[in-house]
Amino acid sequence: QVQLVESGGGLVQDGGSLRLSCAASGRTFSTYAMGWFRQAPGKERAFVARISSSGLSKSYEDSVKGRFTISRDNAKHTLYLQMNSLKPEDTAVYYCAAQEKSGLPYNYWGQGTQVTVSS
């Protein structure tokens, strides 16, 4: 069982930056691949970024490539998402999630943190 708690959301102006954190409970954090997802008002939840358990492999949704960076600190059981050059269309609730096995659905989800980008 893994419990995930996101933090770091807030209100930022167009072009600004935020860093989201996701604190994980349990000693098995380093065995999970981790992902960030977001859900904008009236839309389905969508993939943002993923990082392998070791941190060596990363992937991003096309619209955030070059602006967002996913990282993790396995010693601190924490996942991060550095978001730069934010745009109003990045406004959403951001969720972190843990994945036991590649290709299978994510097993555990956080409660989400709101990111609002004003124009």
| 13-43 confidence digits (pLDDT tens) | 999 999 999 999 977 899 999 999 999 999 9
Average pLDDT of the residues in 64-87: 97
4 pLDDT more than 90 = yes
Label the pairing between strands 78-83 and 68-73.
antiparallel
1 pLDDT more than 90 = no
What is the structure's pLDDT at 109?
97
What is the structure's pLDDT at 27?
73
CB–CB of 114/95 below 8 Å? no
